[in-house]
Amino acid sequence: MESVEKMFEKPRLQKMYMDFLSKEGYKPELESQGDVAFKYQGKQYSIEIYDEDPGFGRLCLMEEAEFGENLIYAHIAASKTSGSIKLVKTYIRDMHDDGLDGKEFIVFAIPFLLTKPDHFENYFQRMLDDMQNAYNEFDEIMGQLCNNEENEEK
């Protein structure tokens, strides 16, 4: 029987994710930090792999955004989205501390824990669907919040 450490070695997981995504018709790429990136419906996703926590991973969609004066609404929309879409954590990330000139990003992330590496394939489409639902939900809530402010100003 294979050890857990061996099953979840980073190079092995990278290959497994790359092979699976290729088989499904995506064009995965290995990022410099070791995550696996791919595009879905025009958006750049990544599967984050953690050396220090075998079996734990995260499907992530992070897009640059300029919220400006609507930043508080973005935080509210992210919180509401996280509360309504079960699997997806939605939050705003200010990259000022990461040396990216204070850029803001909207992040949608689904952490996952695998007991066997190949279980990922069973959940992948569900994760993508929930991620898309969260993206749409966030967009809708932001629109409502911003429209309410515009109506109050009139």
For residue 119, what are its two tokens?
Answer: 């279980």
Q: Phi/psi at 108 (nearest 5 deg)?
A: -120, 125
Question: What is the C-alpha to C-alpha distance for residues 97 and 104, in angstroms, rounded to an integer?
Answer: 11
Answer for the pair 118, 104: CB distance below 8 angstroms, yes or no.
Answer: no
What does the pLDDT average to over 132-140? 96
User: Could you give the CA distance from residue 79 to residue 65 in angstroms, rounded to a whole number?
Assistant: 16
Residue 63 in contact with residue 43, Cβ under 8 Å? yes
pLDDT above 60: residue 154: no
Residue 21: the pLDDT is 96
Mean pLDDT of 78-94: 93
Tell me which of 66-70, 95-99, 122-126, 146-150 is least confident: 95-99
Q: What is the CATH number of the domain that holds 57?
A: 3.30.1460.10
Kindly report the pTM of this predicted structure. 0.86
CA Rg, the chain, in Å?
A: 18
Contact 93, 108 (CB under 8 A): no
154 three-state secondary structure: coil
* pLDDT of 3: 59
Structure tokens at 89: 């954590």
Cα separation, 118 vs 56, whole angstroms: 13
Across 68-94, average pLDDT: 93
Q: Residue 78 above 90 pLDDT? A: yes
Tell me which residue range forms the domain holding 39.
Answer: 4-153
Is the pLDDT at 2 greater than 90, yes or no? no
Model pLDDT, residue 153: 56
Q: What pLDDT sits at residue 22? A: 97
Q: Find where tokens 């509401």 sit.
A: 80
Angle (CA) 86 91 97, round 5° = 150
Confidence (pLDDT) at 98: 57
Number of domains present in the structure of the chain: 1
pLDDT in the model for residue 95: 65
Say which residue the tokens 């595009």 belong to: 39
Looking at residues 134-153, what average pLDDT do you find?
84
In three-state secondary structure terms, 39 is: strand
